[in-house]
Amino acid sequence: MAQKPAEAASDLQRRLVGTWRLVHHEYERPDGSVRPDTAPSIGRLIYDPGGRMSVQIQGVRPGDAPADHPTYIAYFGNYEVHEPEGFIVHKVQTSLQPGRDGTNQQRFFRLEGDRLTLRTPPQPNGEIAILVWQREG
């Protein structure tokens, strides 16, 4: 149920459109405790009105050379908003991470004004990544 034509976009999808800056990143453990991201991250997330998206996140470690960033995440593709269920699907066309091309990445969302919180489903280690984005411009 892709919402590609702008006229078919929901109010929520229209509110998502734009550029978002990563302002906070942490992990929720299976026991409910929170583990902060060990390397401060910078990132950008972009949703366009035609249903396309891209994201780039880079872990920042003092003294690292650009080639030494194994935490660099980048992918782009399309997105679908599943508002009643409370999640967005990133339909990955191409990714820097091996094995992610052609996958669907589910992200549970909370949108409060110019703050967007995305939560992953539990990862193999049971942790849930929580990323908080601030609208730019």
51-99 pLDDT, tens digit per residue, is 999 999 988 665 665 555 457 899 999 999 999 999 999 999 999 988 9
The 10s digit of each residue's pLDDT in 11-45 is 888 999 999 999 999 999 999 999 988 777 899 99
Closest-CA residue to 17 (of 57, 46, 58): 46
CA distance 88 to 31: 25
Domains located in the chain, CATH noted: 6-135 (2.40.128.280)
b/e for 41-74, b at 16 or more Cβ within 10 A? bebbbebebebebbbbbbbeeeeeeeeeeeebbb
Answer yes or no: pTM beyond 0.75. Answer: yes
